[in-house]
Structure 1
Amino acid sequence: MLDDLLVRHTEPQRFYHNLAHLNTLLELLPAKPHLEFAVWFHDAVYDPTRTDNEAQSAGLAQESLLRLGVEPSLIQKVTHIIRATQDHQSDDPDTALFLDADLSILGAEPKIYRAYARAIRQEYAWVPEALFLERRARLLQKFLSRERIYQTEAFAHLEQPARENLAKELETLAQHTSGTEQASASQ
């Protein structure tokens, strides 16, 4: 199972959702079995061309953990956390903590955040530029429209830096969008 997860997290389409991302989460989260399993499985299925990665990852976790003889209640916690990564919101304290750790990159230092944003663009290189700009802007705006991006006190200190990073990226996307529109108008 571990070999399979290692192979999955080193697939060529992964520029951000890779072993370094897992390592960061393992460092940020307390050592609890359901959180550790969720770290390893939450992006185990990662195909940027699909919209069901979370459900597929939860299914893989369930199958793999059942084969290992893990308690059903623990498997249920793990799959719940993984499914919650679809919209990154939860009322469950451990799930909220996991989700905040997963989004911690949004509040990183600007240079690190920009590298993350470039890595995300590489993962979605197959998406035409104009469509990527539109969808990425929509996603960033969705986070900015939340009352709070981070649901737990453990990550509350990242709220303002995250908002600044997201606003700056939105500004950059808008500049690229207007540049793309001008280029296509002049053709």
Structure 2
Amino acid sequence: MLLDPNYLRDRIRTVPDWPQPGVQFRDITPLLQDPKTLRVLVEHFVFRYMDQDIDVIAGIDARGFIIGAILAHELNIGFVPIRKKGKLPFTTISEEYELEYGSATVELHSDACKAGDRVVLVDDLIATGGTMMAGKKLIERLGATVVEGCAIVDLPELGGSQLLRDGGLKLFTLVDFSGH
């Protein structure tokens, strides 16, 4: 579907030493700013999932909300947010995980999905895999099945995609940044 395999990759900004020294932050906001690029990005995911039996898209706070909500709309299915701790107003379940530069907790409403639902888990980037694995665990605790995890960017050298695959999660990503 891409005319040039580097079309999306070339539009992702690298911000050195953010949020701390030594981190090469892969910023997807340039993909969102240009309407053509945003359409190309979303269409990749729409074509991936349009003929699959999916009930819900779950987007991970915060950039996973952007693509996840658009994808759910395009597929005419529901969207549920997986939020940082303390951001959801109703009864929640929570999962703590490790980041590449700290730890955090994510939460999901206890009625976000139901047993038997087939869910695609969306985030912008896979680094250490902790956030997506925590999201997978939350969804599974509600009795739903995570059909696949998807992200725009994979940082394979940080080991997250391998950790997720080893944990039984099928993955789909559009761009990888090997090395630093």
| TM-score normalized by the length of structure 2 | 0.31
Of Structure 1 and Structure 2, the greater strand share is in: 2
Of Structure 1 and Structure 2, the greater helix share is in: 1
Max radius of gyration: which structure? Answer: 1
| TM-score normalized by the length of structure 1 | 0.30
Q: Which has the higher contact order (CA 8 A, sep 6+)?
A: 1
